[in-house]
Amino acid sequence: MIKRLTCLIAVIASMALLCTAAAAQGTPPPPPPPPPGYTGPAPATGIVTEPAAGAPATPAEETGPAAEDIPDDTVIARVGEETLTWGEFLDQLHRMPPQYRMGLSKDKRLELVDSWIDGQLMHREALRRGLDQRPDVAERLEEMRKQVLAHYLRTDLMEADVEVTPEDVAEYYDQHIDTYVVPEQVKMRHVMITQAAKGAEGESPEDLIRAAAEELANGTDFAQVARERSEDNASKMRGGDVGFIDRRRCNALYGAEVEKAAFALEKGEVSEPVKGTRGWHIVRIDAKQPARQRELEDVSISIESTLRRKKQEEQYRDTVNKLRREANVTIDKSLIGKASPELRRDRPAPPPAEPPH
């Protein structure tokens, strides 16, 4: 793995220097290669590859074994002695963010392979030109190598197995029991008239909410009034239904007065018009749920995950602190305070180090 990562690091550093040299000569630089673990489309190269004359067209559907039956060591692309295997390619696809995996066409998958090929070719060319022997390149490669190794050490420490006992989980639950309370909630409908509302005949918001209240008092169905009169687009087509809501969310959405009115009602009751932060409201309560304590068995998996992550972080920090003590680390804070990017404004900035994926 380290050999492959070192190869990819070399590609990045080499291409950065090629781009700089090309720009200095007034020629457009070649596109940069993908960073380590990059799984996006290949950069445009300006080279169009066409099939040889008389070559048969590629069939729309490839024949051969089912994808599940292809061995991981099957070679799907080769550049000299370097190969890309079926298993490595699947790993690349798996590392892609979920939103990019969906609808990944055959052409896009082929672009990923082309990207790998371009990277291998540019690496070979960089070595042929001796870029890896230049002191500035060697320094950059060593810096990136340290970052890659440090990243994987941190990953190993953060993923190390730690023990979380049932007693640990129970103790954490007892210490944080207030955080596992489901607050009181009401299932609420409302008719809302905004502050800026104006009726067809110039009625004010107060006039409009009073008209809605009169319809309800005369027996009109609440859901019908909400659909016809409410200006809350999120709920009006559901008959004003906003679902279950707790005090905090009700206050945040509609204001303290609406929250107070809603939670004072019993099931089936309808409020008088009440003014909130978004306008006037008439509230009806369809159901009520009292506050309840979530039991330990309901949250034990979540607590175990929290404790495991916490212990892994502590293990990582303990290791770093131990290494700091053993290395006799010192920091001259007086110089750090004087550092500024402006002190190097006459020099081109080095290409940024890409974190490994």
pLDDT, residue 37, reads 45
pLDDT, residue 341, reads 79
- β partners of residue 282: 191
What are the respective helix, strand and coil percentages of the chain, to the nearest 5?
50, 10, 35
Phi and psi angles of residue 327, each rounded to the nearest 5 degrees, phi first: -90, -5
- Whether 4 has a pLDDT exceeding 80, the answer reads no
Does residue 221 or residue 58 have the better pLDDT? 221
pLDDT, residue 1, reads 44
Length of the chain: 357
pLDDT, residue 26, reads 40
Could you give the CA distance from residue 224 to residue 236 in angstroms, rounded to a whole number?
A: 9
pLDDT, residue 348, reads 65
Detail the DSSP E strand segments found in 149-199.
181-182, 185-194
- Whether 44 has a pLDDT exceeding 70, the answer reads no
Give start-end residues of each CATH 3.10.50.40 domain in the chain: 184-290
Q: Where do runs of H (alpha helix) occur along 200-295?
A: 205-217, 222-229, 247-254, 256-264
| pLDDT-wise least confident of 25-39, 179-193, 317-331 | 25-39
- Which residues 6+ apart lie within 8 Å of 202 measured at CB? none
Class level of CATH domain 184-290:
alpha beta
Mean pLDDT of 334-352: 75
Mean pLDDT of 61-90: 88
Phi and psi angles of residue 184, each rounded to the nearest 5 degrees, phi first: -60, 140
Mean pLDDT of 181-201: 93
pLDDT, residue 124, reads 94
pLDDT, residue 260, reads 97
Could you give the CA distance from residue 200 to residue 226 in angstroms, rounded to a whole number?
A: 18
Could you give the CA distance from residue 348 to residue 219 in angstroms, rounded to a whole number?
A: 77
Of all residues in the chain, what percent carry a pLDDT higher than 90? 61
pLDDT-derived band at 351, boundaries 50, 70, 90 = low
Mean pLDDT of 160-169: 93
- Whether 130 has a pLDDT exceeding 80, the answer reads yes
pLDDT-derived band at 347, boundaries 50, 70, 90 = low
Rounded to 10 deg, the angle between the 222-229 and 205-217 helix axes is 160
SS3 77: strand
SS3 166: helix
Q: What is the pTM of this model?
A: 0.53
pLDDT in tens, 214-227: 999 999 999 999 99
Sole residue written with tokens 């197995």: 161
pLDDT, residue 158, reads 86
Could you give the CA distance from residue 225 to residue 220 in angstroms, rounded to a whole number?
A: 7
pLDDT in tens, 238-281: 999 999 999 999 999 999 999 999 999 999 999 999 999 999 99
pLDDT-derived band at 30, boundaries 50, 70, 90 = very low
- Whether 149 has a pLDDT exceeding 90, the answer reads yes
| Consecutive H or E run containing 293 | strand 292-293
pLDDT-derived band at 101, boundaries 50, 70, 90 = confident
Could you give the CA distance from residue 237 to residue 244 in angstroms, rounded to a whole number?
A: 17
Name which of 318, 302, 308 is nearest 160 in CA terms. Answer: 308
